[in-house]
Amino acid sequence: MSDTHALLSDYDAEDIIEKDKRHVWHHLLQHKILEEQDPKIFVEGQGARVKDIHGNEYLDASSGGVWCVNVGFGRESMAKVIYDQLLKLPYYAGVAGTVPAAQFADKLTDLLPGLDRVYFGNSGSEANEKAFKMVRQIAHLNGNQKNKVLYRDRDYHGTTIACLAASGHEERRQAYGPFPDGFAVVPHALCYRCPFDKSYPDCNIECAHALEQVIQEEGPDTVGGLILEPITAGGGVIPPVEEYYPIVQEICDKYGVILIMDEVVCGFGRTGKMFGFEHYEVAPDIVTMAKGMASSYAPISATAVRSEIFDEFLSDPSDKYDYFRDISTYGGCTGGFAAALENMRIVEDEDLVENARVVGDYLLDRLGELSDHPNVGDVRGKGLFAGVELVADKSSEDPVGEDVMAAVIRAIAAEGVLVGGTNRSIPGLNNTLNIAPPLIVSTADVDEIVAAVKVGIEKGC
């Protein structure tokens, strides 16, 4: 074993914890908490299970914490293709091409009929930033003001300032303003807490029609894009009703609004279809992707567009500003493309989209059995992508507090299962458990997850 490898494998747990506590600034974490407790440190994973530094094993129903390790942990073939590609050519800037970039772009556009051009980056936020820049530049190129992007309440599109400006997660935005102009919100599509106080199906799908009103208020001449998660993820796992997207599509077509579908979480099988939008009658103009694209074995993201959009940027080479003047250094890392290609092979060869559909239906059925519990307000989802909304009181639908959520998630972990939860997202409504295991899980794994969730709710609420 080389010395470098020894550094990674020979360590003392207490020393690592001490180094982590002293130097690592964790994501989305109030570090004061670590004065009382140790951070969770994971050391290995196999299939749907991970092990922490103390040797505790968990069934990871969060797919790496943020629903992204879709093909599961410990895939030797993923490591091997990345290794081989890195030895051959680790990197070349995206202004040029590489073999795996071309191969993966070809594969991806086969999966996305109508979208035939792909722009690569390295995070979901970045993929969305590219889409916003495209909308804005198209307005410039056409000499109009259609540069605003609408977004939906409770949707999340990323961590950068523009992505936060386009995210309906008030708590994530707190204290990071001022935000750039050019973003406006449309209502969310969660029936359980209908923003119009109506009940489906007698609601005229007001949440979808509200888009037209917002476009009118903002000025149809100023609205160029609409970004939506096909099924809201971090905002509480919210699949809109089936009528929602055809109405949205019609309004976008009527007002010439570019429809951007953020498939960062839903994409690549999570919901039981290859892409979340395929559950609905809708045809996006731009699709953004990351997380499950390479199951997070390597960072990579993509912004796929229709040729009409790409063609907007074709002009006489003497025009200095008319092409898409954007570059991401790490959009040229070839390990990500190799990983994405192998990820797709695994998803297809092992029929993981179908597994997500079948085992996902089972998951939702089994979670549905918890609906009688006095603290379970709503169970919803699609595929291996489920949310359990916890309430203090079923009739008033008052949400449980964040302390209760934390206690429930801790109690579930004590049962050997990791789940996520809405986290500093929606004021007063960080009360949905997120369950999104790797797409390889079996019904027996689901039984284990549901049993732990049941115990967690009973103990924590």
Ligand X SMILES: Cc1ncc(COP(=O)(O)O)c(C=O)c1O
For the segment 151-170, give every residue that binds ligand X (CB under 6 A): 156-159
Q: Which stretch binds ligand X (CB under 6 A): 142-150, 213-221, 226-234, 269-277?
A: 226-234
Whole-number minimum distance, CB 130 to ligand X, in Å?
12
- The torsion region of residue 200 among left (phi > 0), alpha (psi -120 to 50) and beta comes to beta
Residue closer to ligand X by CB (options 64, 360) is 64
66 binds ligand X (CB under 6 A): yes
Binds ligand X by CB under 6 A, chosen from 123, 334, 355, 432: 123
Asked if 376 contacts 234 with a C-beta cutoff of 8 angstroms, the reply is no
Site track 257-286 with ligand X (rule: CB under 6 A), x = hit: -----x-xx---------------------
Residue closer to ligand X by CB (options 71, 452) is 71
> Token digits for 334?
């070839």
Residue of minimal Cβ distance to ligand X: 124
d(CA 407, CA 416): 14
Whole-number minimum distance, CB 207 to ligand X, in Å?
18
Containing H/E element for 376? strand 376-381
Whole-number minimum distance, CB 398 to ligand X, in Å?
27
Residue closer to ligand X by CB (options 292, 360) is 292
**CA 49 vs CA 23, 25, 45, 57: distances in Å:** 27, 25, 6, 7
**Among residues 385, 383, 386, 380, which one has the least CA distance to residue 360?**
383
382 binds ligand X (CB under 6 A): no
Q: How many CB atoms lie within 10 A of CB 275?
A: 21
Whole-number minimum distance, CB 124 to ligand X, in Å?
2
Cα dihedral sign for 230, 231, 234, 238?
positive
Whole-number minimum distance, CB 454 to ligand X, in Å?
27
Number of amino acids touching ligand X (CB under 6 A): 16
Whole-number minimum distance, CB 177 to ligand X, in Å?
19
Residue closer to ligand X by CB (options 158, 335) is 158
290 binds ligand X (CB under 6 A): yes
287 binds ligand X (CB under 6 A): no
Whole-number minimum distance, CB 315 to ligand X, in Å?
30
222 binds ligand X (CB under 6 A): no
Q: Mention every residue, 6+ apart, whose C-beta is less than 8 A from residue 174.
A: none
Amino acid of residue 225: G
Residue closer to ligand X by CB (options 58, 330) is 330
Whole-number minimum distance, CB 5 to ligand X, in Å?
29
423 binds ligand X (CB under 6 A): no
d(CA 63, CA 265): 11
d(CA 85, CA 127): 23
**Among residues 115, 80, 443, which one has the least CA distance to residue 285?**
115
Whole-number minimum distance, CB 434 to ligand X, in Å?
11
Question: Can you tell me which residue has the tokens 């019609």?
Answer: 250
124 binds ligand X (CB under 6 A): yes
Residue closer to ligand X by CB (options 223, 289) is 289
d(CA 172, CA 183): 16
Q: How many CB atoms lie within 10 A of CB 36?
A: 6
Amino acid of residue 212: E
Strands (E), 157-285: 183-186, 223-228, 258-262
Binds ligand X by CB under 6 A, chosen from 101, 233, 363, 418: 233
Whole-number minimum distance, CB 419 to ligand X, in Å?
16
Residue closer to ligand X by CB (options 149, 461) is 149
> Token digits for 440?
């390889």
Containing H/E element for 435? strand 432-435
Residue closer to ligand X by CB (options 366, 380) is 380
d(CA 340, CA 101): 10
d(CA 257, CA 215): 9
d(CA 97, CA 105): 11
Asked if 304 contacts 117 with a C-beta cutoff of 8 angstroms, the reply is yes
Radius of gyration over every alpha carbon of the chain, rounded to an integer in angstroms:
22
Residue closer to ligand X by CB (options 46, 174) is 174
125 binds ligand X (CB under 6 A): yes
Residue closer to ligand X by CB (options 234, 335) is 234
Residue closer to ligand X by CB (options 295, 375) is 295
234 binds ligand X (CB under 6 A): yes
146 binds ligand X (CB under 6 A): no
Determine the 3-state secondary structure of 57 from DSSP. strand
Residue closer to ligand X by CB (options 300, 388) is 300
229 binds ligand X (CB under 6 A): yes
Interface positions with ligand X (CB under 6 A): 66, 123-125, 128, 156-159, 229, 233-234, 262, 264-265, 290
